[in-house]
Amino acid sequence: MNSEPGSPPTSRGGTIIAVGDSLTVGFGVAPGRSYPALLERKLREAGYDYRVINAGINGEKSGEALARIGRILLLKPDIVILQTGTNDGLRNVSPEEMKGNIEAAVRTLVENGVTVVLAGMRNLIRRKGNYDERFAAAYPEISGKLGVILIPWFLAGVAGEPGLNRADGIHPTAEGYRIVVETVYPFVVEAIERVATLQAIPPQ
């Protein structure tokens, strides 16, 4: 329960693990300017006693993210932000295969009591046919099916903006990551509130 409107929920604090690819690592910027580092700073400034661990791996595809979910669980996360699929799109992995990998990863986390924030992604290069539409649709479909929190578009306001991305057009600059954090933040607060509610439920 909140002590007053707008105040952080009563919570013992906890651990957030940011799982993802180079967009989570913060490729091209100093570690302190990656989105997980900036997110932790913003949460603490707002009174949320949460640590954010950057568990990104450059070049990782969704199948590789799925393969290491067991190792992520060993870190005892309260919340996992799952950002994956970018490299699937770049390497022409079928959206159906990607969706299956992400759904399996999310299901495993949920079954182990982790609150999941799923980062919605879009294919960063145009492909023929309806590939891009199928790709983007995978994320809300998974969120709806498994009841997890969805960030509709992780790179909202950043993707395609030359001044906010490196020369490759894929990886944000430090300023781009600041915008990413503003996008991610309210969904993470929603996840923290879910965790606080679960903590307040007495054991049966």
Active site residues: 22, 168, 171
| Residue at 107: amino acid letter | R
Do 98 and 62 meet the contact criterion of CB atoms below 8 Å apart?
yes
Q: 11 φ, ψ to 5°?
A: -155, 150
Spatial separation of the C-alpha atoms in residues 113 and 87, rounded to whole Å: 28
Q: What is the DSSP string of 110-141?
A: HHTT-EEEEE----SS--STTHHHHHHHHHHH
Smallest CA-to-CA distance from 82 within 104, 65, 63, 61 is with 65
